Amino acid sequence: MKAWHGMKMAIVGATFSVCAAGVFIRPMPPRRVGEQPRPAELYRVVMQELQSVRDADYVGAYRQVSLSMRERYNLDVFADKVRTERPDLTRYERVEFGGVRMNGRQASVPAYLFLSNGDIAAVTYLLVREEGSWRIDGSHVRRRWNGNYRVGGTRM
């Protein structure tokens, strides 16, 4: 009987100790996570770049690129690069975007360009946050499908 009484007192004491500790231990303030951009904000930057290139407005397209890209290419080299490397991508009919991936101040935005000849080009745009806005730091064509390829999903 005495052992049972001691066990009950130990349980009550432990419960009281946990409650008392809860009074004195304050929870940590929530960790502030950097403000995540809305995907539409990133899509808008890519669309402005695509539209500028389509309109041969290389100065407008150059405004969308990052400072590090501007260090690598001056405006003339940038314009020549855009005109010669992927001229057929300027003839897109529509653009669809995939899921954005964030990594701190950097974002990866997949874009699917549906071209006028029926081809589909999957292009990944790399964006960086600098001076309070998002800018394009690079892009590469991941894959290209011909007009016979059918993408998944539901079309309405």
What does the alpha-carbon distance between residue 128 and residue 139 come to, in Å, rounded to a whole number? 12
Q: Is residue 122 part of a domain?
A: yes
Q: What is the reported pTM? A: 0.72
pLDDT at 156 (0 to 100): 37
Mean pLDDT of 127-142: 93
Give the length of the chain: 156
154 has a pLDDT exceeding 60: no
pLDDT at 122 (0 to 100): 93
| Number of domains the chain is built from | 1
pLDDT at 34 (0 to 100): 58
Residues 46-105 have pLDDT tens digits of: 999 999 999 999 999 999 999 999 999 999 999 998 888 888 888 899 999 999 999 989
Q: Is residue 128 part of a domain?
A: yes
* CA gyration radius, the chain: 28
Domain that holds residue 112: 39-145
Alpha helices in 2-117 (DSSP H): 2-24, 39-54, 58-63, 67-72, 75-85
pLDDT at 30 (0 to 100): 58
pLDDT at 121 (0 to 100): 92
Q: Is residue 103 part of a domain?
A: yes
The string of DSSP letters for 96-145 reads: EE---EEETTEEEEEEEEEETTS-EEEEEEEEEEETTEEEEEEEEEEEEE
Q: Is residue 2 part of a domain?
A: no
Residues 107-117 have pLDDT tens digits of: 999 999 999 88
For residue 82, give the CATH number of its domain.
3.10.450.100
pLDDT at 9 (0 to 100): 82
Q: Is residue 154 part of a domain?
A: no
Q: Is residue 32 part of a domain?
A: no
Q: Is residue 29 part of a domain?
A: no
Residues 31-47 have pLDDT tens digits of: 555 567 889 999 999 99
Element (H, E) at 92: strand 92-97
Q: Is residue 101 part of a domain?
A: yes
CB neighbourhood size of 55 (10 A): 11
pLDDT at 151 (0 to 100): 63
Angle at 51 between CA 45 and CA 57, to 5 degrees: 105
What does the alpha-carbon distance between residue 7 and residue 78 come to, in Å, rounded to a whole number? 79
